[in-house]
């Protein structure tokens, strides 16, 4: 309440304040028959009693006729509520304020929707009137928790560990590889700036400059389709250190999260567990596994090696072939036949992978198309090998190992969704399971041309210390010093130890990735001037906060997000620019095409 005439917020008055004169400012959330109203501000609610005596007729008329969501100032006396009228659900439920004077600071016109969390509103409407949506309790809580957590992160990094907060440019040049970047025209004909997808090059250059420890709450940009966990502009907690190794970065981030973690969300235990990339794919079918529940992928290739099942033998006789399975606990009890068919269809349509279901019956025998190929002893061994219980359902897949794992990993998550919809709680929404995933491949084949390579993450990642020689002889087998931080099945951070020698960086760009190194000549030259070993990480702040508060989308933790299609529905951006304003940028737009695109959107 500093610097303003307000004596208290609407969420802080208690019985101890009875008898005091207070001045409150806020929005009218509710008004009943001219008798009382509920005043709301960022901190909570207070019940205001509207005076009924003639001496206060002006106040009565003012507050009784003011529309909901009007902004008012109320001065009055704090009083205890009459016996039996207390509201234990409200922090201020033991008191009320008897209004003495009031002022309507601004009246509210008819609302496009009610400002209540339980009122269903379309996301498009919420984003069109985002300034109204921001008044909701949930968004207020989300943004304030975000602010508090960022402040604690600053304390930990700057005050406790000597990091320097440095702002880096948002107008730069195109970076080879990675996500598509937004272009910004300049007044030089044919020349464009690019909005960086991260401050990657700048933070490395800061290490060359001897800054030693850098961090930034960085705005980043990617020109790609919006998804529930992705926005064209987003925020990272960006970090870089000199003379550090992978273990040092991991300890830093574990300490940072432990220090900044909100008390009301419980404590987090460090160190976080770790899996290699290969282990994650083998056990969970993904490099960002949700470890809150089991249902791991099991390799049963050896067990079925001696079976007479044709499709199994075909798979195992092929290079890289395997047979794997997941077990859905109590699947018979919780899943219907249509659910199992849906899972099989999903694997077929997304991964071109056939799935066979196996059910463990109450008599301890198996029900499946495969049982004709397995005698009783083999069935018993199968049940023991997979530790099956009555009513469990097994989903079995045979084929190329990576495809099989990817399909079963996806079915694992879909099965969990179905089980929880049917009433079986697998993933505790209040649990936070962090996991490091390490030892990623340094390069991957390009999807459009598998004979060419691309960086698994970005071209500045250093090879694993044990694989430095392999980088030059067989780069396809080289592992990287990249590490991802995963929370409840979502990637919330990623980083690496960087290449700090110019000759190795040039080799990666020119010989492995076939990129024009001239685009990065400034960085390559900087590495020749005594660049220290360095590494870093970036935490996705939007995604981290959305998981922390249980929001279905990162749009619920950003004050002014873009829509699913990357548009600002409130300000109607992007928008057209008159041709005369484009002339100074040497740009001409094909207006019929632009109008056609506008009609499509």
What is the C-alpha separation between 228 and 311, in angstroms, rounded?
Answer: 38
The superfamily (CATH) of domain 293-422 is: GAD-like domain (3.30.1360.30)
Domain map (residue ranges) of the chain: 15-106, 141-275+434-556, 293-422
Evaluate whether 294 touches 392 at the Cβ level (below 8 Å).
Answer: no
Task: Decide: residue 216, CB within 10 A, 0-12 exposed, 13-18 middle, 19+ buried.
Answer: buried
What is the C-alpha separation between 182 and 204, in angstroms, rounded?
Answer: 22
- pLDDT over 70 at 228, yes or no: no
pLDDT of residue 119: 80
pLDDT tens-digit readout, 413-452: 999 999 999 999 999 999 999 999 999 999 999 988 999 9
Overall fold of domain 15-106: OB fold (Dihydrolipoamide Acetyltransferase, E2P) (2.40.50)
Evaluate whether 277 touches 285 at the Cβ level (below 8 Å).
Answer: no
pLDDT of residue 363: 87
Higher pLDDT residue, 364 or 185?
185
pLDDT tens-digit readout, 3-42: 999 999 999 999 999 999 999 999 999 999 999 999 999 9
What is the C-alpha separation between 527 and 517, in angstroms, rounded?
Answer: 13
pLDDT of residue 229: 64
Band (pLDDT 50/70/90 cuts) for residue 246 is: very high
Q: Per the confidence metrics, is the pTM higher than 0.85?
A: yes
Q: Tell how far CA 112 is from the center of its chain.
A: 29
What is the C-alpha separation between 586 and 596, in angstroms, rounded?
Answer: 23
- pLDDT over 90 at 117, yes or no: no
Structure tokens given for 568: 């600002």
What is the C-alpha separation between 488 and 548, in angstroms, rounded?
Answer: 10
pLDDT of residue 9: 97
pLDDT tens-digit readout, 154-167: 999 999 999 999 99
Structure tokens given for 299: 């390799």
Evaluate whether 39 touches 74 at the Cβ level (below 8 Å).
Answer: yes
Q: What percent of the chain has pLDDT over 90?
A: 87
What is the C-alpha separation between 572 and 564, in angstroms, rounded?
Answer: 14
Query: Mean pLDDT over residues 477-503, rounded?
Result: 98
Pairing outcome for strands 213-221 and 164-165? parallel
What is the C-alpha separation between 548 and 145, in angstroms, rounded?
Answer: 9
pLDDT of residue 1: 82
pLDDT of residue 143: 98
- pLDDT over 70 at 72, yes or no: yes
In the block, residue with structure tokens 């249509």: 338
What is the C-alpha separation between 377 and 382, in angstroms, rounded?
Answer: 9
- pLDDT over 70 at 178, yes or no: no
Query: Mean pLDDT over residues 283-309, rounded?
Result: 93
Query: Mean pLDDT over residues 288-317, rounded?
Result: 92
Q: What percent of the chain has pLDDT over 70?
A: 97
Distances (CA, A) of 107 to 60, 69, 131, 169, 359: 16, 8, 16, 42, 65
Evaluate whether 134 touches 117 at the Cβ level (below 8 Å).
Answer: no
- pLDDT over 80 at 176, yes or no: no
pLDDT of residue 589: 87
Structure tokens given for 273: 């567990």
Rg (CA), the chain: 30
Peptide bond into 271 cis (omega under 30): yes
Of 297, 268, 294, 285, residue with least CA distance to 492:
268
- pLDDT over 70 at 601, yes or no: no
- pLDDT over 90 at 303, yes or no: no
pLDDT of residue 174: 85
> What pairs with residue 50 in β-bridges?
none
The superfamily (CATH) of domain 141-275+434-556 is: Bira Bifunctional Protein; Domain 2 (3.30.930.10)
136 φ/ψ angles, rounded to the nearest 5 degrees: -65, 150
Q: Cβ neighbours of residue 565 under 8 Å, at least 6 residues apart? A: 225, 226, 601
- pLDDT over 80 at 556, yes or no: yes
- pLDDT over 90 at 560, yes or no: yes
- pLDDT over 60 at 542, yes or no: yes
What is the C-alpha separation between 379 and 366, in angstroms, rounded?
Answer: 7
Pairing outcome for strands 164-165 and 71-80? unpaired
What is the C-alpha separation between 596 and 601, in angstroms, rounded?
Answer: 9
Query: Mean pLDDT over residues 288-307, rounded?
Result: 93
> What pairs with residue 357 in β-bridges?
395
């Amino acid at each position: 309440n500093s610097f303003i005439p307000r004596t208290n917020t609407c969420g802080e008055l208690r019985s101890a304040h009875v008898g005091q004169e207070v001045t409150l400012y806020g929005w009218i959330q509710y008004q009943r028959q001219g008798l009382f109203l509920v005043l709301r501000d960022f901190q909570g609610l207070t019940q205001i009693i509207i005076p009924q005596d003639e001496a206060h007729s002006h106040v009565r008329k003012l507050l009784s006729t003011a529309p909901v969501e009007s902004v008012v100032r109320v001065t009055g006396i704090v009083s205890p509520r009459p016996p039996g009228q207390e509201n234990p659900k409200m922090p201020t439920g033991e008191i009320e304020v008897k209004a003495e004077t009031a002022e309507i600071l601004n009246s509210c016109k008819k609302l496009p929707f009610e400002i209540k969390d339980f009122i269903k509103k379309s996301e498009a409407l919420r984003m069109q009137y985002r300034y109204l949506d921001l008044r909701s309790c949930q968004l207020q809580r989300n943004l304030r928790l975000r602010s508090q957590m960022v402040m604690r992160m600053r304390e930990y990094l700057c005050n406790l560990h000597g990091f320097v907060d440095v702002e880096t440019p948002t107008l730069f040049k195109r970076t080879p590889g990675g996500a598509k970047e937004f272009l910004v025209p300049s007044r030089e004909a044919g020349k464009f700036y690019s909005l960086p997808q991260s401050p990657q090059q700048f933070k490395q250059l800061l290490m060359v400059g001897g800054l030693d420890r850098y961090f930034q709450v960085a705005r980043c940009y990617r020109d790609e389709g919006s998804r529930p966990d992705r926005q064209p502009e987003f925020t990272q907690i960006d970090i870089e250190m000199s003379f550090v190794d992978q273990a040092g970065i991991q300890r830093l981030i574990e300490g940072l999260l432990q220090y900044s973690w909100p008390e009301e969300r419980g404590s987090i235990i460090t160190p976080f567990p770790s899996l290699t990339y290969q282990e994650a794919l083998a056990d969970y079918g993904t490099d960002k596994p949700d470890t809150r529940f089991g249902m791991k992928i099991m390799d049963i290739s050896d067990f079925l090696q001696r079976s007479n099942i044709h499709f199994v033998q075909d798979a195992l006789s092929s290079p890289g072939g395997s047979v794997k399975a997941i077990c859905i606990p109590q699947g018979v009890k919780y899943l219907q036949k249509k659910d199992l068919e849906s899972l099989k269809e999903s694997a077929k349509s997304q991964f071109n992978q056939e799935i066979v279901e196996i059910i463990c019956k109450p008599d301890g025998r198996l029900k499946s198309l495969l049982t004709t190929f397995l005698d009783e002893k083999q069935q018993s061994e199968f049940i023991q090998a997979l530790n099956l219980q009555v009513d469990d359902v097994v989903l079995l897949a045979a084929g190329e190992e990576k495809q099989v794992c990817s399909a079963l990993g996806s079915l694992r998550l879909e099965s969990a969704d179905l089980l929880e919809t049917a009433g079986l709680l697998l993933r505790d929404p209040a649990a936070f399971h962090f996991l490091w995933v390490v030892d990623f491949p340094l390069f991957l084949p390009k999807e459009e041309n598998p004979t060419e390579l691309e960086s698994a993450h970005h071209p500045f990642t250093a090879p694993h210390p044990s694989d430095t020689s392999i980088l030059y002889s067989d780069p396809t087998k080289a592992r990287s010093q990249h590490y991802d931080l995963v929370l409840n099945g979502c990637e919330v951070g990623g980083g690496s130890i960087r290449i700090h020698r110019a000759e190795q960086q040039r080799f990666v760009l020119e010989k492995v990735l076939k990129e024009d190194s001239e685009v990065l000549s400034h960085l390559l030259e900087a590495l020749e001037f005594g660049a220290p070993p360095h590494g870093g990480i970036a935490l996705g702040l939007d995604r981290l906060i959305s998981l922390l508060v249980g929001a279905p989308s990162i749009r619920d933790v950003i004050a002014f997000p873009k829509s699913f299609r990357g548009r600002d529905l409130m300000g109607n951006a992007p928008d057209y620019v008159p041709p005369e304003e484009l002339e100074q940028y040497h740009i001409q737009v094909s207006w019929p095409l632009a109008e056609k695109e506008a009609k499509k959107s």
